[in-house]
Amino acid sequence: MQGLGELEALVMDVLWRSTEPVRVRDVIDGLDDDREPAYTTVMTVMDNLHRKGWVHRQRNGRAYWYEATRSREEAAADGLRALLESTGDPTGVLLHFVRGTSDVESKILARGLRERGKK
């Protein structure tokens, strides 16, 4: 995910898979890779994510409980928008992308545009 370090992305993956707020220990237990980072390392990463606006935290007793501030899809769309803006020619990039879409992708894009018009 654009704008995230490797461990930050792994932490966000745990948060996005969770249906409720989680503690640092829950994140460590939920990491998919073989490494088990130190508790303080994950706590620092989650504090950084909070400062960057990726997560919301609420104190419950002695621990903070964390949850993502936006869905994985919203974060990906924000990253795509930032990437397009950084190219200097977002129109050209979008047109190039659309010309190369599959039939299924084209139908999804058309559906999104129809839904956008209904707002």
Task: Output the pLDDT for position 117.
Answer: 75
86: tokens are: 């950084």
- With 0.85 as the threshold, say if the pTM is over it: no
- Bridge partners of 60, per DSSP, are 63
Domain 6-68 = CATH 1.10.10.10: yes
Tokens of 48: 């950084």
pLDDT tens column, 16-41: 999 999 999 999 999 987 778 999 99
Per-residue pLDDT at 36: 83
Other beta carbons within 10 Å of 81: 11
Q: Per-domain residue ranges for the chain?
A: 6-68, 72-117
Tens of pLDDT along 57-76?
999 999 999 999 999 999 99
